[in-house]
Amino acid sequence: MNQRRQSAEEREANVRAWLAMSPQQRREYVENNEYLQRIERNGITTDDVIKVEDDAYKLGLQTGKDSTFRTIFAAICLTLHELHGFNDEQCIEVLNSVYDKACYALTSKELIQEAFDSVGVELSFDGDGIQEPASVKEEWSCD
């Protein structure tokens, strides 16, 4: 049987649907699914499969977040050092502040809006990178 890989959204929807089923509905689902029947014959329940997939998804998500934070923090530290001569203590102070802001913001949208409101930096991640406020863009215009 050729099983195509599910997207994270499909997997989450399937897990939610599975968890919403009664034990009887789960049993009927397994009885009608040849792939799950083969798995259960080997002593592995569908609950076991869901738990392993969920654990793997969470581990992958955490690993990705950790890797991203490390990369971004290294880039921030290097940039602060190269552009402004920050030493290790200054970099650590900034990185701790960045970490607090990133981890304790209610949403990324809230933090992005605060950056715009407080500093005037418009963050755009659609391929254009960081954008200057419109007033600065007009001043820099070559027209």
Local confidence band at 1 (pLDDT 50, 70, 90 cut-offs) = very low
**C-beta separation of 137 from 126 below 8 A:** no
Please provide residue 112's backbone torsions phi and psi, each rounded to the nearest 5 degrees. Answer: -65, -40
pLDDT, position 122 = 81
Q: How confident is the model at residue 129 (pLDDT cuts 50, 70, 90)?
A: low
pTM of the model: 0.51
pLDDT, one tens digit per residue, over 58-117 is 888 888 888 888 899 999 999 999 999 999 999 999 999 998 888 888 788 888 888 889
Q: Which residues lie across from 122 on neighbouring strands?
A: 131
Distance (Å, rounded) from C-alpha 73 to C-alpha 42? 46
Q: Return the higher-pLDDT residue of 46 and 98.
A: 98
What is the crossing angle of helices 34-41 and 23-31, to 10°? Answer: 100
Q: Over the Cα atoms of the chain, what is R_g?
A: 24
Q: Which residue has the tokens 């070559």?
A: 142
Greater model confidence, 3 or 11:
11
